[in-house]
Structure 1
Amino acid sequence: MSEFDDHTAVTPDGAGGYRAELSEGWVVGGGVNGGYLLAVMGRALREALPGKPDPVAVSAHYVSPSTPGPATVTVDVRREGGSVATAAVDLVQDGTTRISALATVGDLARFAERAPEVRTTAVEPTLPAPEDCTASADAPDEVRAFVRMLDRLDLRLDPAHAAWGQGEPGMTGVIAGWFRFPDGREPDALSLLTVCDVLPPVTFDLGMPGWAPTLELTVHVRAHPAPGWLKVRHETRNLAAGLFEEDCEIWDSAGRLVCQSRQLALVPRPL
């Protein structure tokens, strides 16, 4: 079992819910990474709805920051059909709801068999080769202490979107790069719930470094990703009233757009 699978594991609690142990290895800033938490909830959905293993659409509201340690995931199936099921999912710690989500799940392989045609006007981002990008493994110690989850990731940021590390933000509202798991685990539909939230907040490129707490995150998983590196691109077009949106695209090694997401977050708190 890979580290990611171990850290997202859930077990039935005997009362209709699922026990999870949130890993301290996914801490960033003042809480546990929101994408990692969605994957934990996705594991509970997979257990509760056998035959529908893949998250298709997930909309999550982050009610309060999660902390490393025990948690409970509850799954309330609202409707189960032949192709998809919809369920309400809550992640709870110490009697407090941390995340409340509504999710639709199914089997993406079956969807692809029924409707293999793809039509898109989306354009795959062009990035330098991973070895020519800025590696997360080279991040300064103070950054690694603040973003402990960097040890769980192999990120390679496009240097065109990484100059903020030298105090020269590009001011484009874009950050892009390559992603893979450092232990060789290949990407799958479940892991895309995490990958959409692993890049630095796009506000870093606007000269605003720091932890940006997520208020809401919606993820659409479009296909099973091919093995290999993933291209991840974040963009924001509007920062107002102390909030910003972050749109994400994830492209697989076969050049397919396999996941899209949008989150609403608070403007970062200073490092």
Structure 2
Amino acid sequence: MTQGTSAQATIGDSEFDRDTAVTLREPGVYDTELSAGWTIINAVNGGYLLAVIGRALGQALPHPDPFTVSAHYLTASQPGPAVIRTETVRSGRTLSTGQASLFQYDEEGREVERIRVLASYGDLDALPDDVRTSAALPAIPPVDQCFGPQDAPAPIKGSTAITDRLWLKLDPATLGWALGAPSGKGEMRSWFGLADGRDADPLSLLLAVDALPPTAFELGIQGWVPTVELTVHVRCRPAPGPLRIAISTRNLAGGFLEEDAEVWDSADRLVAQSRQLARTPLGR
């Protein structure tokens, strides 16, 4: 098994599935518990949060798979209880569209909206096989020539709990930041999987696009890079095996940058794409 674990978890029976579980309270309303196991530095990972909401929408809508999911991150989420309120906007033959918001409670017990999502769901297994693309597979060295968080010369300040749940092997060409010599290119590439060996599915792709170190590190910027908006396109159901992820930033201006991500599966297919706008420590 690629991740090297002793007992491989399966889709539906893994830590990721348990930590993204939602419980129906009433029609359209789901309770969940945000796990501290998916935090990095001082924040709950945005891709993990999107997967939690994505699971609720997958239960609320008549179609099973996320095709496009757009999220605006309004306030910082904290580990602990949360409620997701969903609404079906439109239900068609091949696509259904819904919206959802995740809420938590402040110290006075008032609901605070953390994230608002608009998404369209369909059936990935019903898509035709016709592919016409100019996208190129990212050039990442073999796994044994790449490096994971355990190889870092010094730990990242704050929580790194999420790295215990991921299998990451990063391209050395994008690791200058870890050695104090960032390349300035704004690129990050890595092999990716879940640490317990669970294969990827459409829901975990929502996590994958936001699971690598931020490209800001290779631009010489350290610290938390909070997501403002994230849109994910899921293109097909991933084949079993490790994923390859390539992320790039072309423009950092005014304290904000964009990140464009591509996710490729073990069958060399482009299975997900994303773009996010994130805030950097510059301009704060």
TM-score interval, smaller chain: over 0.9
CA distance in 2, matches of 1:86, 1:126: 35
Is 1:48 the counterpart of 2:60? The answer is yes
The one-character-per-residue Cα deviations of 1:63-83 (angstroms, maximum 9, x if unpaired) are: 000000000111100000111
Is 1:137 the counterpart of 2:143? The answer is no
Q: Shift in Å at residue 182 of structure 1?
A: 1.1
Q: Shift in Å at residue 255 of structure 1?
A: 0.5
Q: Which residue is 1:239 aligned to?
A: 252
CA distance in 1, matches of 2:133, 2:112: 41
CA distance in 2, matches of 1:214, 1:56: 20
Q: What pairs with 1:103-118 in structure 2 (closer than 5 Å)?
A: 103-111=119-127, 115-118=128-131
CA distance in 2, matches of 1:182, 1:30: 21
Q: Which residue is 2:239 aligned to?
A: 226
CA distance in 2, matches of 1:147, 1:92: 24
Residue identity matched to 1:160: A
Counterpart among 58, 68, 76 of residue 57 in structure 1:
68
The answer (yes or no) to whether the contact 1:215–1:263 under 8 Å persists in 2 is: yes
CA distance in 1, matches of 2:154, 2:22: 32
Residue identity matched to 1:82: R
The answer (yes or no) to whether the contact 2:201–2:237 under 8 Å persists in 1 is: yes
Q: Report the CA distance shift for 1:55/1:139 in structure 2 as closer, same or farther (over 3 A).
A: same
CA distance in 1, matches of 2:28, 2:56: 11
CA distance in 2, matches of 1:16, 1:187: 26
Query: Matched residue pairs, number?
Result: 265
The answer (yes or no) to whether the contact 2:28–2:87 under 8 Å persists in 1 is: no
Is 1:86 the counterpart of 2:122? The answer is no
Q: Shift in Å at residue 173 of structure 1?
A: 1.0
CA distance in 2, matches of 1:264, 1:132: 31
The one-character-per-residue Cα deviations of 1:162-191 (angstroms, maximum 9, x if unpaired) are: 121010111111110100111110001110
Q: Which residue is 1:147 aligned to?
A: 160
The one-character-per-residue Cα deviations of 1:77-102 (angstroms, maximum 9, x if unpaired) are: 00001111000110110101000010
Give me the TM-score of the superposition, normalised by structure 2: 0.90
The answer (yes or no) to whether the contact 1:213–1:268 under 8 Å persists in 2 is: no
The answer (yes or no) to whether the contact 2:261–2:275 under 8 Å persists in 1 is: yes
The one-character-per-residue Cα deviations of 1:171-221 (angstroms, maximum 9, x if unpaired) are: 111110100111110001110000000000101111112110100000000
> Which secondary structure state, in structure 1, belongs to the residue aligned with residue 197 of structure 2?
coil
Residue identity matched to 2:113: T
Is 1:260 the counterpart of 2:273? The answer is yes
Residue identity matched to 2:121: V
Of residues 88-97 and 26-35 in structure 1, the stretch that sits farther from structure 2 once superposed is 26-35
The answer (yes or no) to whether the contact 2:28–2:60 under 8 Å persists in 1 is: no
Comparing both structures, which one devotes a greater share of its residues to helix? 1
CA distance in 2, matches of 1:145, 1:221: 31
Is 1:101 the counterpart of 2:120? The answer is no
> Which secondary structure state, in structure 2, belongs to the residue aligned with residue 13 of structure 1?
strand
The one-character-per-residue Cα deviations of 1:229-262 (angstroms, maximum 9, x if unpaired) are: 1000110000001100000000001101110000
Counterpart among 162, 175, 178 of residue 188 in structure 2:
175
> Which secondary structure state, in structure 1, belongs to the residue aligned with residue 156 of structure 2?
helix
CA distance in 2, matches of 1:91, 1:28: 19
Q: Shift in Å at residue 147 of structure 1?
A: 2.5
Q: Which residue is 1:31 aligned to?
A: 43
> Which secondary structure state, in structure 1, belongs to the residue aligned with residue 224 of structure 2?
coil
Is 1:198 the counterpart of 2:199? The answer is no
CA distance in 2, matches of 1:137, 1:38: 26
Across the aligned residues of Structure 1 and Structure 2, the Cα RMSD in angstroms comes to 1.3
The answer (yes or no) to whether the contact 1:244–1:264 under 8 Å persists in 2 is: yes
Give me the TM-score of the superposition, normalised by structure 1: 0.95
Q: Which residue is 1:207 aligned to?
A: 220
Q: Which residue is 2:17 aligned to?
A: 5
